[in-house]
Chain A
Amino acid sequence: VDNRKLVEYFRTQMSQDPDVASAVAAIRSLLEFLKRDQSETILGLRENLTKAIGRLQEADSSVAVSSGGELFLRFISLTSLENPDLSQCRNVMIERGELFLKKISLSRGKVAKLCHTFIKDGAKILTHSSSRVVLKVLESAAADKKRFTVYVTESQPDSAGKLMADKLRRLNIPVTVVLDAAVGYIMEKVDLVIVGAEGVVESGGIINKIGTYQMAVCSKAHNKPFYVVAESFKFVRLYPLNQQDVPHRFKYKADTLKTAEDLNQEHPIIDYTPPSLITLLFTDLGVLTPSAVSDELIKLYL
């Protein structure tokens, strides 16, 4: 099975539905790959899948694709443990895979349902860059007839914050775009900070667009609650101790990794926020404290 076709399928998934999370698109593509795969043994299947995941990561280097891929591999291992015969196993895998996809496409809704009760009438919310989960949360809160205002950072280098502001304006939510440098300035005005996450690491910290760490430090200094909203398939088996510990393959875009001569001269596009700065995480598994995240990961991987 051609890996190029896989990457094409992944790209079409992402472009057809701009709202879909990249991990979901990755898992969907891998399920397609599984359906067309011709291997005779489970070990062969795993090898092909690992190579396919590698190709996907070369195309899109975000943490979400990596966590989606690892989750799918784990799914294969767990299912193959129960059915050692490959042909039987494959049908079970495909059936469960479809079910799994259906469940995780509902996760964003579950997160929004949990989180919007924390937004009170008259609240001023600060958010960073453009996150589809945060958008869904704010949408639910607005649908609940709550009145609130949103400040969103511009989020260079891609000005994603402006896109977020447009989407919020379409929902009739009053929104102001602020400079990335103005986070400290605006922090005294806001009541709470809500951000999304590209990946949630084992320590309970998060990996998100660059600028999130700054926002977390500021909110801690001003004693404002810092909430993270993320679906459970973003939990990833990393344990960074500081910013330098985050692997290079996540920090820079896939193209930059291939063409750059000296990575030290390139600007990273993500940063790591340690768990001590996070108040609560809202996931489809419930409202978790950062210490509960590692429990979830252990239950899955060990």
Chain B
Amino acid sequence: MPGADKETDLGERIEAFLAELKRGGRGSGETARSTAALLRRITAQARWSSAGDLMEIIRKEGRRMTAAQPSETTVGNMVRRVLKIIREEYARSRGSSEEADQQESLHKLLTSGGSSEENFRQHFAPLKANVIEAINELLTELEGTTDNIAMQALEHIHSNEVIMTIGRSRTVEAFLKDAARKRKFHVIVAECAPFCQGHEMATSLSEDGIETTVIPDAAIFAVMSRVNKVIIGTQTVLANGGLRAVNGTHTLALAAKHHSTPLIVCAPMFKLSPQVPGQNSLTCVNAHCPVFDYVPPELITLFISNIGGNAPSYIYRLMSELYHPEDHEL
């Protein structure tokens, strides 16, 4: 039966995805794209009749995916984005205004009359096509994130500046290479032991003609007085505006604060996660991945993402636009 074939095919793809997640080693951008593509496939091929069913299926698969690799938060973020997309498309099909029913707020508490429990049980024929189209838009956005961030480089990097970075971030690499096309500046890379990914970063940057110096992590504070800006990537942006970044980033941030050097974080929006530090301690991190640091929001000057530059205190607002509060816990 064609239906059964589709389902087994879907099941196989999900298992293959989970196996790849467990192996790890992929960049977060790639993980985000493949997660979104898989969710689009689930929407297209799984059997569901109402938005509520689809959300249940996606939530279930999402829980399995996050359990396979807890340190890769982009998987959970993409699941939450898709859940929010489904809610919005459902609301649009029903004809109600999207903003009004979405967030829990004082305003909603005061004006709602009667039980407004939304159970997403109504069936709408064009819902499937709308959701798939919205996920396609999400995929287009994901493909363009690195370029969108790199485009903003010229506003932030000026000639003859000394920029410091740590480890290897593909986003920061693209950012610096884009600025190097028009400006001449010097980059200092902290090697970031024990994996020393800083060495690869330095090689890659110097291939593009950027003057690069590699320093050991211990020398960060000593060199900081000569640095104009610190630009780093991160693994996750937390809900309070803090970071979960590669080990050594907190040291870098403290040194920058001490010298009043601006700390700029280049992070695409799919790295924004509704977690708050303190809920799950950083000890439940898989040993395959680099060990992480928590950087508090007070040490960060600016977040550069694919939608522009924002202060850490604004992160809560971006979060409420990307995810629905009920999806914070999958």
Q: Give chain A's interface residues, CB within 8 Å of chain B.
A: 71, 74-75, 78-79, 92, 95-96, 99-100, 103-104, 117-118, 120, 225, 232-233, 235, 279-280, 284-289, 291-292, 295-297, 299-300
Which of A95, A100, A280 is within 8 Å of B110, CB to CB? A100
Given contact pairs A296-B105, A299-B106, A300-B110, a sample of 9 additional A-B residue pairs in the complex whose CB atoms are under 8 Å apart: A95-B114, A99-B113, A99-B114, A100-B109, A104-B109, A225-B278, A232-B106, A285-B106, A286-B325
Interface residues of B in 109-140 (CB under 8 A from A): 109-114
A295 engages B279 (CB within 8 Å): no
B107 engages A291 (CB within 8 Å): no
Q: How far is the CA of A180 from the CA of B106 in the complex (A)?
A: 35
Q: How far is the CA of A288 from the CA of B316 in the complex (A)?
A: 8
Residue-wise interface mask of B (287-330) relative to A, using a CB-CB cutoff of 8 A (1 in contact, 0 not): 00000000001000000000000000111110000000100100
Return chain B residues, CB-CB under 8 Å to A285.
104-106
Q: How far is the CA of A288 from the CA of B106 in the complex (A)?
A: 14
Q: Say how far B300's CB is from chain A's closest CB, in angstroms.
A: 13
Select the residue from A92, A95, A96, A289 with max chain B CB neighbours within 10 A: A289
Return chain A residues, CB-CB under 8 Å to B114.
95, 99
Q: How far is the CA of A93 from the CA of B106 in the complex (A)?
A: 16
B317 engages A280 (CB within 8 Å): no
Q: How far is the CA of A104 from the CA of B109 in the complex (A)?
A: 8
A71 engages B278 (CB within 8 Å): no
| A285-B106, A292-B316, A300-B107 known; A96+B240 contact, CB < 8 A | no
Q: Say how far B260's CB is from chain A's closest CB, in angstroms.
A: 17
| A280-B240, A285-B104 known; A232+B109 contact, CB < 8 A | yes
A-B contact pairs, 15 of them (CB 8 A): A96-B110, A103-B109, A120-B281, A233-B106, A235-B106, A280-B276, A285-B104, A289-B240, A291-B313, A291-B314, A291-B316, A292-B316, A299-B105, A299-B107, A300-B106
A289 engages B106 (CB within 8 Å): no
Q: Say how far B210's CB is from chain A's closest CB, in angstroms.
A: 36
Count the B residues whose beta carbon is within 8 Å of the partner chain — how many?
A: 25
Q: Give chain B's interface residues, CB within 8 Å of chain A.
A: 104-107, 109-114, 239-241, 276, 278-279, 281, 297, 313-317, 325, 328
Q: How far is the CA of A285 from the CA of B281 in the complex (A)?
A: 23
B110 engages A74 (CB within 8 Å): yes
Q: How far is the CA of A145 from the CA of B322 in the complex (A)?
A: 35
A289 engages B278 (CB within 8 Å): no
A96 engages B113 (CB within 8 Å): yes
Q: How far is the CA of A41 from the CA of B57 in the complex (A)?
A: 52
Q: How far is the CA of A295 from the CA of B297 in the complex (A)?
A: 19
Return chain A residues, CB-CB under 8 Å to B278.
118, 225
Q: Say how far A30's CB is from chain B's closest CB, in angstroms.
A: 13
Q: Say how far B73's CB is from chain A's closest CB, in angstroms.
A: 17
Return chain A residues, CB-CB under 8 Å to B325.
286
A295 engages B106 (CB within 8 Å): no
Return chain A residues, CB-CB under 8 Å to B276.
280, 287
Select the residue from B105, B107, B110, B114 with max chain A CB neighbours within 10 A: B110
Q: Say how far B166's CB is from chain A's closest CB, in angstroms.
A: 23
Q: How far is the CA of A100 from the CA of B276 in the complex (A)?
A: 29
B112 engages A99 (CB within 8 Å): yes
Q: How far is the CA of A100 from the CA of B114 in the complex (A)?
A: 10
Q: Say how far B160's CB is from chain A's closest CB, in angstroms.
A: 35
Q: Say how far B111's CB is from chain A's closest CB, in angstroms.
A: 5
Q: How far is the CA of A296 from the CA of B316 in the complex (A)?
A: 12
Q: How far is the CA of A106 from the CA of B289 in the complex (A)?
A: 42
Q: How far is the CA of A295 from the CA of B241 in the complex (A)?
A: 16
Return chain B residues, CB-CB under 8 Å to A225.
278
Return chain B residues, CB-CB under 8 Å to A79.
111
Return chain A residues, CB-CB under 8 Å to B281.
120
Q: How far is the CA of A118 from the CA of B240 in the complex (A)?
A: 14
Q: Say how far A131's CB is from chain B's closest CB, in angstroms.
A: 20
Q: How far is the CA of A88 from the CA of B113 in the complex (A)?
A: 14
Return chain A residues, CB-CB under 8 Å to B316.
288-289, 291-292, 295
Q: How far is the CA of A299 from the CA of B297 in the complex (A)?
A: 25
Return chain A residues, CB-CB under 8 Å to B317.
292, 295
Return chain A residues, CB-CB under 8 Å to B109.
100, 103-104, 232
A117 engages B107 (CB within 8 Å): no
Return chain A residues, CB-CB under 8 Å to B279.
117-118
Return chain A residues, CB-CB under 8 Å to B107.
78, 299-300
Closest to A288 in B: B316
Return chain B residues, CB-CB under 8 Å to A291.
313-314, 316
B240 engages A300 (CB within 8 Å): no
Q: Say how far A202's CB is from chain B's closest CB, in angstroms.
A: 13
Q: How far is the CA of A117 from the CA of B111 in the complex (A)?
A: 31
Q: How far is the CA of A71 from the CA of B239 in the complex (A)?
A: 28
Return chain A residues, CB-CB under 8 Å to B313.
289, 291
Q: How far is the CA of A288 from the CA of B109 in the complex (A)?
A: 17
Select the residue from B109, B239, B297, B317 with max chain A CB neighbours within 10 A: B109
Select the residue from A95, A96, A120, A225 with max chain B CB neighbours within 10 A: A96
Q: How far is the CA of A78 from the CA of B316 in the complex (A)?
A: 27
Select the residue from B113, B314, B315 with max chain A CB neighbours within 10 A: B113
Closest to A232 in B: B106
Q: How far is the CA of A233 from the CA of B109 in the complex (A)?
A: 10
Q: How far is the CA of A155 from the CA of B107 in the complex (A)?
A: 35
Return chain B residues, CB-CB under 8 Å to A100.
109-110
Closest to A79 in B: B111
Q: Say how far B34's CB is from chain A's closest CB, in angstroms.
A: 30
Q: How far is the CA of A280 from the CA of B313 in the complex (A)?
A: 12
Q: How far is the CA of A104 from the CA of B104 in the complex (A)?
A: 13
